[in-house]
Amino acid sequence: MIDSITHLWEAARAAYNGKMLPNGGIPIQAWQQIKKPYKRLMSLLLDGSFHAILCGREGVVMEQDEDGEMRVTGTKLKAEGETPHEPHVLGRMCPERDEKGGYIIKAFFEKDRSGILTGKEFLWPTYETISPVVRYLCGGEQGKLGTPEEAAEQDINAQEAAQEKAERERKELFDQIRAALVAAKTIAQLQTAWSLTSGKKTRLGDEFFTQLQAIKDSRKAELLEVA
């Protein structure tokens, strides 16, 4: 168990001692070397013949609005951008106030490659919450991802492959959010499902985002009519 992956990512960034931009930022050309040891760690975790649980802190997503102002549009795992999408299961846990002034812990599963937990929300999650998925992760030998260098040698069309992968992930994200919207039984659940789009408009693209908006509006009308 890595708790937290945020600390390791921040350590990788802090290790950089090269030239900085005038605004204090890190030059684009430096990121490849900064990410190299972190990416290697991720490869070892994902290639290993063991289960790995990565915990991380929550950060905010900032996007520019129509007036050119930066505003918070969602949340994300506070680590290297691809980190939350690498493991087989991605869940987000957060505390919420209850009616008695106390709090409850909710877990919402944004991604699950088995499809069992995708789009579902659980109160006070325990091992029993994820146990149905565990058997899918206890099969034969774990497939190896290999290092980026090995992948580049094996695929001379790496750029085309990366583009195809991005399209597949875009479609996968669209399907996951659509399934969550369709499965919503209440307005609150619909709002929770729609929160999956926060900070992901660019990744989804205009076409998919517009389709999801139409589905959300249609489901909202149906739920309000039932209520």
127's tokens:
């091992």
For residue 157, which amino acid is it? N
pLDDT digits (tens, 9 = 90+) for 33-68: 999 999 999 988 888 888 889 999 998 888 877 777
Tell me the residue range of the domain where 159 lies. Answer: 155-227
Count up the domains in the chain and report the number: 3
150 inside domain: no
Flag whether 15 is in a domain.
yes
| Residue 162 domain-assigned (yes or no) | yes
**Which region, left, alpha or beta, applies to residue 115 given φ > 0 means left and ψ of -120 to 50 means alpha?**
left
102-155: pLDDT as tens digits: 889 999 998 888 888 888 999 999 999 998 888 777 765 555 555 556 555 554
**Token pair belonging to 4:** 């937290």
- Domain match, 10 and 61 both: yes
Which residue, 77, 31, 83, 37, is CA-closest to 58? 77
User: For residue 83, with 0-12 CB atoms within 10 Å meaning exposed, 13-18 middle and 19 or more buried, which class applies?
Assistant: buried
